[in-house]
Chains A and B, each alone.
Chain A
């Protein structure tokens, strides 16, 4: 019994890791510039045919905030999004949703999701040659913005006042 539940736990853990890895990958695909996605697909897609299953199609997502920043949710306003589902030659289906109305970006992001799911070898390849470079590009842009903001930090300095010894 104990063994069985232990293996069940291990399976659950592996499943969670798988979900977390895919979440990270899909989030990277959605945030990459279209040019970058196109170039990377050129490099790793091996000229696979991409068949549309759904879309790409433009629609809306209602963006929510929280009352006071951390309270009950409220509807802040909508954002345009594009979603796509595609099937690779091998039969794997990938999905994507990206902010904005760039159809090609959503189609490519869905294609990478499908390629990531193909098998372990493709997953590792996509992780190292697509996900990591995208994350690095995002991190570089964010570092630049952060450092520019940092230069506007107010450094208060104290002035001595009165006759304190």
Chain B
């Protein structure tokens, strides 16, 4: 469970990016976070993966109090998250297999377990035929699927996707969104930050709208209304 309680985030330059945000996301929920540029969506995500510390209030994710958790414990917290970025952030000198395996290496998984699990994950994202390819040999949609596979590698309970379709064409974007829905159906909590009105309206999930750092709307089965 993710629980924001009166969370505010003020940057050193004085910008108040989150202003008294309170909301709860239950385990297994699918949530779209929408809002204009500069509304505070990215800051919200950054506080979720503890890139930024909140200034006041409390933020508890899967039992981790992110205001109090010590820095050396943060890597263990991040293993509960699978993060997908708009720009994919893949290692360009590693193959598809190695990119996914890297996430497992980083948490100390054995080679045996990596060799067993990576092909399974790649088949979930339909990339079983591309294991030996390098990212430059793949389309944008395929690269994002590799990023998604990497996010799933350590079996996280929460998937956070920051504009996952921002860099790919509409047809392939639908494929990515369908994959996220598929992952959600496997019991994961999925949080998607997006500007894509069509998808938000089409999938009819919970929609949280942010404006000037505040939650201005929060509806299940809501529409893109930023």
On whether the two chains bind one another, the answer is: no
